[in-house]
Amino acid sequence: MNPLIYKFSLRNGLLIAGISSVLTIVFYIINPVIQYTNFIVPILTLIIFIALLVILAIDVRKKIGGYWTFGEAFISLFIMSICTVVIGLLVNFIMIKLNPALPQAINDAVADLTSKQYEKMGVDQTQIDEATKRFTNGEFLATLQPTLFNEIKGLGLGLLIYGVIDLIIAACIKKTAPLFISENANETIE
Protein backbone atom coordinates (compact mmCIF):
# COMPACT_ATOMS: atom_id res chain seq x y z
CA MET A 1 0.00 0.00 0.00
CA ASN A 2 1.27 3.41 -0.94
CA PRO A 3 2.31 5.31 2.24
CA LEU A 4 1.25 8.59 0.63
CA ILE A 5 -2.37 7.40 0.91
CA TYR A 6 -2.17 7.68 4.70
CA LYS A 7 -0.55 11.13 4.59
CA PHE A 8 -2.97 12.67 2.10
CA SER A 9 -6.01 10.94 3.63
CA LEU A 10 -5.18 12.20 7.11
CA ARG A 11 -4.71 15.74 5.81
CA ASN A 12 -7.99 15.63 3.88
CA GLY A 13 -9.77 14.00 6.83
CA LEU A 14 -8.70 16.87 9.08
CA LEU A 15 -9.95 19.30 6.42
CA ILE A 16 -13.37 17.61 6.30
CA ALA A 17 -13.49 17.51 10.11
CA GLY A 18 -12.72 21.22 10.24
CA ILE A 19 -15.45 22.05 7.76
CA SER A 20 -17.89 19.80 9.63
CA SER A 21 -16.98 21.45 12.94
CA VAL A 22 -17.51 24.93 11.51
CA LEU A 23 -20.93 23.85 10.18
CA THR A 24 -21.85 22.43 13.59
CA ILE A 25 -20.86 25.67 15.32
CA VAL A 26 -22.71 27.82 12.75
CA PHE A 27 -25.87 25.74 13.17
CA TYR A 28 -25.47 25.96 16.95
CA ILE A 29 -25.20 29.76 16.74
CA ILE A 30 -28.30 29.93 14.53
CA ASN A 31 -30.28 27.67 16.86
CA PRO A 32 -28.72 25.26 19.38
CA VAL A 33 -31.29 22.52 18.69
CA ILE A 34 -31.71 22.93 14.91
CA GLN A 35 -29.63 19.84 14.14
CA TYR A 36 -32.16 17.75 16.06
CA THR A 37 -35.41 19.44 15.08
CA ASN A 38 -34.98 20.32 11.41
CA PHE A 39 -34.59 17.27 9.19
CA ILE A 40 -33.00 19.34 6.40
CA VAL A 41 -29.91 20.21 8.46
CA PRO A 42 -28.62 16.62 8.98
CA ILE A 43 -29.43 15.74 5.36
CA LEU A 44 -27.60 18.85 4.11
CA THR A 45 -24.64 18.04 6.36
CA LEU A 46 -24.54 14.45 5.09
CA ILE A 47 -24.65 15.60 1.44
CA ILE A 48 -21.80 18.05 2.05
CA PHE A 49 -19.81 15.33 3.85
CA ILE A 50 -20.30 12.81 1.03
CA ALA A 51 -19.40 15.41 -1.62
CA LEU A 52 -16.24 16.34 0.27
CA LEU A 53 -15.33 12.66 0.68
CA VAL A 54 -15.67 12.03 -3.05
CA ILE A 55 -13.80 15.17 -4.10
CA LEU A 56 -10.96 14.74 -1.62
CA ALA A 57 -10.64 10.99 -2.21
CA ILE A 58 -10.28 11.61 -5.95
CA ASP A 59 -7.67 14.23 -5.02
CA VAL A 60 -5.74 11.57 -3.07
CA ARG A 61 -6.02 9.18 -6.02
CA LYS A 62 -4.58 11.80 -8.38
CA LYS A 63 -1.71 12.58 -6.00
CA ILE A 64 -0.65 8.93 -5.75
CA GLY A 65 -0.55 8.38 -9.49
CA GLY A 66 -4.16 8.29 -10.66
CA TYR A 67 -4.90 4.65 -9.89
CA TRP A 68 -5.81 2.64 -6.84
CA THR A 69 -7.58 -0.52 -5.83
CA PHE A 70 -10.90 -0.78 -4.05
CA GLY A 71 -9.01 -1.54 -0.82
CA GLU A 72 -6.79 1.52 -1.14
CA ALA A 73 -9.80 3.71 -1.90
CA PHE A 74 -11.67 2.34 1.11
CA ILE A 75 -8.69 2.80 3.46
CA SER A 76 -8.31 6.40 2.30
CA LEU A 77 -12.01 7.14 2.75
CA PHE A 78 -12.13 5.41 6.13
CA ILE A 79 -9.16 7.43 7.43
CA MET A 80 -11.01 10.60 6.42
CA SER A 81 -14.18 9.34 8.12
CA ILE A 82 -12.35 8.46 11.34
CA CYS A 83 -10.97 12.00 11.53
CA THR A 84 -14.41 13.47 10.95
CA VAL A 85 -16.21 11.26 13.48
CA VAL A 86 -13.61 11.66 16.24
CA ILE A 87 -13.31 15.43 15.87
CA GLY A 88 -17.09 15.78 15.49
CA LEU A 89 -17.63 13.90 18.76
CA LEU A 90 -15.02 16.07 20.44
CA VAL A 91 -16.72 19.27 19.22
CA ASN A 92 -20.14 18.04 20.42
CA PHE A 93 -18.63 17.00 23.76
CA ILE A 94 -17.10 20.46 24.23
CA MET A 95 -20.33 22.19 23.22
CA ILE A 96 -22.32 20.21 25.78
CA LYS A 97 -19.70 20.81 28.47
CA LEU A 98 -19.81 24.55 27.73
CA ASN A 99 -23.63 24.56 27.73
CA PRO A 100 -24.82 21.89 30.21
CA ALA A 101 -28.46 22.88 29.58
CA LEU A 102 -28.16 21.83 25.93
CA PRO A 103 -29.19 18.16 26.38
CA GLN A 104 -32.38 19.20 28.20
CA ALA A 105 -33.14 21.83 25.53
CA ILE A 106 -32.67 19.21 22.79
CA ASN A 107 -34.86 16.71 24.67
CA ASP A 108 -37.64 19.26 25.14
CA ALA A 109 -37.47 20.50 21.53
CA VAL A 110 -37.58 16.99 20.05
CA ALA A 111 -40.43 16.00 22.40
CA ASP A 112 -42.40 19.09 21.38
CA LEU A 113 -41.74 18.50 17.68
CA THR A 114 -42.76 14.84 17.93
CA SER A 115 -45.94 15.73 19.80
CA LYS A 116 -46.90 18.39 17.23
CA GLN A 117 -46.30 16.01 14.33
CA TYR A 118 -48.56 13.39 15.89
CA GLU A 119 -51.22 16.03 16.56
CA LYS A 120 -51.12 17.06 12.87
CA MET A 121 -51.69 13.43 11.90
CA GLY A 122 -54.75 13.28 14.17
CA VAL A 123 -53.32 10.81 16.69
CA ASP A 124 -55.17 10.79 20.01
CA GLN A 125 -53.46 12.10 23.17
CA THR A 126 -52.90 8.69 24.81
CA GLN A 127 -50.92 7.48 21.77
CA ILE A 128 -48.99 10.76 21.71
CA ASP A 129 -48.15 10.34 25.39
CA GLU A 130 -46.98 6.79 24.72
CA ALA A 131 -44.86 7.89 21.73
CA THR A 132 -43.25 10.73 23.69
CA LYS A 133 -42.73 8.74 26.89
CA ARG A 134 -39.01 8.33 26.22
CA PHE A 135 -38.66 12.13 26.37
CA THR A 136 -40.52 12.50 29.65
CA ASN A 137 -38.97 9.54 31.47
CA GLY A 138 -35.38 10.66 30.74
CA GLU A 139 -34.52 7.81 28.35
CA PHE A 140 -33.72 10.11 25.41
CA LEU A 141 -32.06 12.69 27.66
CA ALA A 142 -29.68 10.01 28.95
CA THR A 143 -28.44 9.36 25.39
CA LEU A 144 -27.52 13.05 25.02
CA GLN A 145 -25.33 13.22 28.12
CA PRO A 146 -21.55 13.35 27.49
CA THR A 147 -20.68 10.05 29.16
CA LEU A 148 -17.95 7.61 28.17
CA PHE A 149 -20.56 5.03 27.14
CA ASN A 150 -22.45 7.53 24.95
CA GLU A 151 -19.22 8.74 23.32
CA ILE A 152 -18.08 5.17 22.56
CA LYS A 153 -21.54 4.35 21.21
CA GLY A 154 -21.47 7.51 19.07
CA LEU A 155 -18.01 6.62 17.79
CA GLY A 156 -19.07 3.08 16.90
CA LEU A 157 -22.30 4.15 15.24
CA GLY A 158 -20.58 6.96 13.32
CA LEU A 159 -17.83 4.65 12.05
CA LEU A 160 -20.40 2.03 11.06
CA ILE A 161 -22.54 4.49 9.09
CA TYR A 162 -19.58 6.20 7.45
CA GLY A 163 -17.92 2.82 6.83
CA VAL A 164 -20.91 1.78 4.71
CA ILE A 165 -20.81 5.11 2.87
CA ASP A 166 -17.06 4.64 2.36
CA LEU A 167 -17.60 1.18 0.86
CA ILE A 168 -20.07 2.57 -1.67
CA ILE A 169 -17.86 5.51 -2.60
CA ALA A 170 -14.75 3.28 -2.84
CA ALA A 171 -16.57 1.01 -5.29
CA CYS A 172 -17.43 4.04 -7.42
CA ILE A 173 -14.02 5.75 -7.45
CA LYS A 174 -11.60 2.82 -7.65
CA LYS A 175 -9.51 2.95 -10.77
CA THR A 176 -7.16 0.20 -11.77
CA ALA A 177 -4.11 0.86 -13.88
CA PRO A 178 -4.18 -0.46 -17.45
CA LEU A 179 -2.40 -3.75 -17.97
CA PHE A 180 -0.41 -2.56 -20.95
CA ILE A 181 0.68 0.84 -22.15
CA SER A 182 1.35 1.14 -25.89
CA GLU A 183 4.34 2.92 -27.33
CA ASN A 184 2.17 5.94 -28.05
CA ALA A 185 1.76 7.40 -24.56
CA ASN A 186 -1.71 8.72 -25.41
CA GLU A 187 -3.11 5.23 -26.06
CA THR A 188 -3.65 2.67 -23.35
CA ILE A 189 -4.67 -0.89 -23.86
CA GLU A 190 -6.61 -2.66 -21.15
For residues 96 and 100, what is the distance between their CA atoms, to the nearest angstrom?
5
Best CA proximity match to 112, nearest among 36, 40, 45: 36
For residues 190 and 176, what is the distance between their CA atoms, to the nearest angstrom?
10
Query: In this model, does residue 81 exceed pLDDT 90?
Result: yes
Instruction: Give the model confidence (pLDDT) of 104-147 as tens digits.
Output: 999 999 999 999 999 998 888 888 888 889 999 999 999 999 88
Backbone angles phi, psi at 188, to 5 degrees: -120, 145
For residues 19 and 48, what is the distance between their CA atoms, to the nearest angstrom?
9
Backbone angles phi, psi at 99, to 5 degrees: -130, 80
Query: In this model, does residue 189 exceed pLDDT 60?
Result: no
186 pLDDT band, cuts 50/70/90, is low
Entry pTM: 0.84
For the chain, report the end-to-end CA distance as a whole number of angstroms.
22
